[in-house]
Amino acid sequence: MRSLTLDSRGRPRIVVTGMGLVTSLGWGKSENWPRLIAGQSGIAHITRFPTDGLKTTIAGTIATPNGTAYSAYTHSLRIAESAADEAIQQAGIGTPGRFPGPLFIATPPSELEWPQLSRLYAHAEPAAGEGYRRLLAAARTRAFDELHHDVAFASIADAMQRRFGTHGEPLSLCTACASGASTIQLAMERLRRGEAEAALCVGTDATVHPEGLVRFSLLSALSTRNDPPEAASRPFSKSRDGFVIAEGAGAVVVETYEHARARGAKPLGVVMGAGEKADCYHRTRSKPDGSAIIGAITKALADADVTSNDIDHVNAHGTSTPENDKMEWLSLAHVLGPRKHAVPVTSNKSQIGHTLIAAGAVEAVIALMTMNEGVIPPTINHHEPDPEIHLDVVSNTARTAQVRSVLSNSFGFGGQNVCLVLAAEPW
Amino acid sequence: MQRQRAAWVTGLGIVSSLGEGQDAHWQALARSPVAAAKIDNSSHAPYAVHPLSAVDIDRLIPSRADRKQMGAWQRLGVHAAGLALDDAGVAGNEQILEYMDLVVAAGNGERDESFDARLLDQICALSTREAAATLNAALASGLRPTLYLGELSNLLAGNIQIVHKVTGSSRTLKGEELAGFSAIEDATRRIAAGQADIVLAGGALNAERNDLLLNYELADSLWAMPFAPVWERSRAGGGFVPGSAAAFLVIEASDHALKRGARAYARISATTSDRVLRAEAGDIAASLRRLGDRLPIGQADHVLGVLSGASGVEPATSEEYSFLKDWIGVPQQRASARAYGTLLGHSVEAHFPIGVALACLALDRNGFFEPFEDNALEVPCTVPPERILVTSVGHWRGEGLALIERVDSSARMA
Q: Is the dihedral of CA A237, A239, A243, A247 positive or negative?
A: negative
Best mutation target, A136, A156, A282, to test chain B (most B CBs within 10 A):
A136
**What is the distance between the alpha carbons of residues B52 and B324, in angstroms, rounded to a whole number?**
30
List the single residue in B129, B169, B214 with the smallest CB-CB distance to A139: B214
SS3 state of residue A427: coil
- Cα–Cα distances (Å) from B261 to B86, B168, B254, B408, in that order, read 15, 21, 10, 15
pLDDT-derived band at B1, boundaries 50, 70, 90:
very low
List the single residue in A117, A134, A172 with the smallest CB-CB distance to B179: A172
Q: Would you say B107 and A152 are in contact if contact means Cβ atoms under 8 Å apart? A: no
Strand partners for B346: B242
Q: What is the distance between the terminal CA atoms of chain B, rounded to a whole angstrom?
A: 27
SS3 state of residue B107: coil
Strand partners for A393: A345
Q: Would you say B55 and B15 are in contact if contact means Cβ atoms under 8 Å apart? A: yes
Domains belonging to chain B, first-starting first, are 7-112+146-259 (3.40.47.10), 113-142 (no CATH), 266-412 (3.40.47.10)
Q: What is the β-pairing status of strands A405-412 and A416-423?
A: antiparallel
Judged against a pLDDT cut of 60, whether residue B179 lies above it is answered with yes
Per DSSP, B54 falls in state P
**What is the distance between the alpha carbons of residues A254 and A269, in angstroms, rounded to a whole number?**
9
Higher model confidence: residue A345 or residue B3? A345
Query: Which pLDDT does position B35 carry in this prediction?
Result: 92
SS3 state of residue A57: coil
Tens of pLDDT, residue by residue, chain A (427 residues): 678 899 999 999 999 999 999 999 999 999 999 999 999 999 999 999 999 999 999 999 999 998 899 999 999 999 999 999 999 999 999 999 999 999 999 999 999 999 999 999 999 999 999 999 999 999 999 999 999 999 999 999 999 999 999 999 999 999 999 999 999 999 999 999 999 999 999 999 999 999 999 999 999 999 999 999 999 999 999 999 999 999 999 999 999 999 999 999 999 999 999 999 999 999 999 999 999 999 999 999 999 999 999 999 999 999 999 999 999 999 999 999 999 999 999 999 999 999 999 999 999 999 999 999 999 999 999 999 999 999 999 999 999 999 999 999 999 999 999 999 999 998 7
Residues 177 to 196 of B: which have CB under 8 A from any A CB? 178-179, 181-182, 186, 189-190, 192-193, 195
Over residues B212-240, mean pLDDT = 97
What size, in residues, is chain A? 427
Task: Judge: A416–B175 Cβ closer than 8 Å, yes or no.
Answer: no
**What is the distance between the alpha carbons of residues A82 and A22, in angstroms, rounded to a whole number?**
7
SS3 state of residue A226: coil
Q: Which residue of chain B comes nearest to A161, CA vs CA?
A: B275
Task: Judge: A219–B135 Cβ closer than 8 Å, yes or no.
Answer: no
Judged against a pLDDT cut of 80, whether residue B327 lies above it is answered with no
Judged against a pLDDT cut of 90, whether residue B319 lies above it is answered with yes
List the single residue in B120, B137, B396 with the smallest CB-CB distance to A53: B137
Host H or E run for residue B400? strand B399-405
Host H or E run for residue A369? helix A359-373
Over residues B323-340, mean pLDDT = 84
Other C-beta atoms lying within 10 Å of the C-beta of residue A291: 17
**What is the distance between the alpha carbons of residues B300 and B332, in angstroms, rounded to a whole number?**
8
Task: Give A14-110+152-417's CATH code, choosing from 3.40.47.10, 2.40.50.140, 3.40.50.1580, 3.20.20.10.
Answer: 3.40.47.10
pLDDT-derived band at B414, boundaries 50, 70, 90:
very low
Helix, strand, coil percentages for chain B (3-state, nearest 5): 40, 20, 40
Q: Let me know the angle formed at the C-alpha of B32 by B27 and B35, rounded to the nearest 5 degrees.
A: 55
Over residues B284-297, mean pLDDT = 93
Other C-beta atoms lying within 10 Å of the C-beta of residue B78: 27
**What is the distance between the alpha carbons of residues A173 and A168, in angstroms, rounded to a whole number?**
16
Whether omega for the bond prior to residue B315 falls within 30 degrees of 0, making it cis, is yes
Q: What is the β-pairing status of strands A103-106 and A198-205?
A: parallel
SS3 state of residue A243: strand
List the single residue in A51, A111, A283 with the smallest CB-CB distance to B136: A51
Over residues B56-75, mean pLDDT = 93
Q: Closest Cα partner for A45 from A242, A208, A221, A249?
A: A208
Query: Which pLDDT does position B300 carry in this prediction?
Result: 58
Number of H helices, E strands in chain A: 13, 16
Query: Which pLDDT does position B298 carry in this prediction?
Result: 62
**What is the distance between the alpha carbons of residues B178 and A161, in angstroms, rounded to a whole number?**
14
SS3 state of residue B238: strand
User: Does the annotation mark A177 as catalytic?
Assistant: yes
Task: Judge: A173–B173 Cβ closer than 8 Å, yes or no.
Answer: yes
Q: Let me know the angle formed at the C-alpha of B174 by B200 and A411, rounded to the nearest 5 degrees.
A: 75
Q: Would you say A26 and A35 are in contact if contact means Cβ atoms under 8 Å apart? A: yes
**What is the distance between the alpha carbons of residues A323 and A309, in angstroms, rounded to a whole number?**
26
Looking at chain B, the whole-number percentage of residues with pLDDT higher than 90 is: 90
Strand partners for B264: none
- B58 — phi, psi (to 5°)? -60, -25
This model of the complex carries an ipTM of 0.97
SS3 state of residue B269: strand
User: Does the annotation mark A390 as catalytic?
Assistant: no
A118 class by beta-carbon count within 10 Å (0-12 exposed, 13-18 middle, 19+ buried): buried
Q: Would you say A318 and A328 are in contact if contact means Cβ atoms under 8 Å apart? A: yes
Judged against a pLDDT cut of 60, whether residue B299 lies above it is answered with no
Q: From the centroid of its chain, how far is CA A255? A: 20
Q: Which residue of chain A comes nearest to B162, CA vs CA?
A: A280
Label residues B298-324 b or e (16+ Cβ within 10 Å = b): eeeebbbbbbbbbbbbbebbbbbbebb
Per DSSP, A106 falls in state E
Number of H helices, E strands in chain B: 17, 11
Judged against a pLDDT cut of 90, whether residue B134 lies above it is answered with yes
Q: Is the dihedral of CA B275, B277, B281, B286 positive or negative?
A: negative
Task: Judge: A280–B161 Cβ closer than 8 Å, yes or no.
Answer: yes
Q: Would you say B398 and B275 are in contact if contact means Cβ atoms under 8 Å apart? A: yes
SS3 state of residue B259: helix
**What is the distance between the alpha carbons of residues B4 and B8, in angstroms, rounded to a whole number?**
13
**What is the distance between the alpha carbons of residues A106 and A157, in angstroms, rounded to a whole number?**
8
**CB-based contact (8 Å) between B225 and chain A?**
no
Q: What is the β-pairing status of strands B198-205 and B266-274?
A: unpaired
**What is the distance between the alpha carbons of residues B81 and B165, in angstroms, rounded to a whole number?**
11
Q: Would you say A391 and A339 are in contact if contact means Cβ atoms under 8 Å apart? A: no
Domain assignments of chain A as residue spans, ordered by start: 14-110+152-417, 114-149
Three-state SS annotation for B155-179: HHHHHHHHHHCCCCEEEEEECHHHH
Q: From the centroid of its chain, how far is CA A119? A: 32
Strand partners for A27: A22
Q: B128-142 vs A210-218: helix axis angle to the nearest 10?
A: 20
Strand partners for B266: B9
Q: Would you say A202 and A83 are in contact if contact means Cβ atoms under 8 Å apart? A: yes
**What is the distance between the alpha carbons of residues B124 and A119, in angstroms, rounded to a whole number?**
9
Task: DSSP for B174-235, please give it.
Answer: ESHHHHHHHHHHHHHHHHHTTS-SEEEEEEEE----HHHHHHHHTTT-B--SS---TGGGGG
**CB-based contact (8 Å) between A9 and chain B?**
no
SS3 state of residue A417: strand
Query: Which pLDDT does position B296 carry in this prediction?
Result: 84
Q: Would you say B84 and B202 are in contact if contact means Cβ atoms under 8 Å apart? A: yes
**CB-based contact (8 Å) between B227 and chain A?**
no
**What is the distance between the alpha carbons of residues B167 and B330, in angstroms, rounded to a whole number?**
46
**What is the distance between the alpha carbons of residues A194 and A254, in angstroms, rounded to a whole number?**
13
Task: Judge: A175–B172 Cβ closer than 8 Å, yes or no.
Answer: yes
B141 class by beta-carbon count within 10 Å (0-12 exposed, 13-18 middle, 19+ buried): exposed
Within 13 Å, how many C-alpha atoms sit on residue A134's CB side? 22
SS3 state of residue B250: strand
Task: Judge: A136–B274 Cβ closer than 8 Å, yes or no.
Answer: no
Per DSSP, A395 falls in state B
Over residues B357-364, mean pLDDT = 98
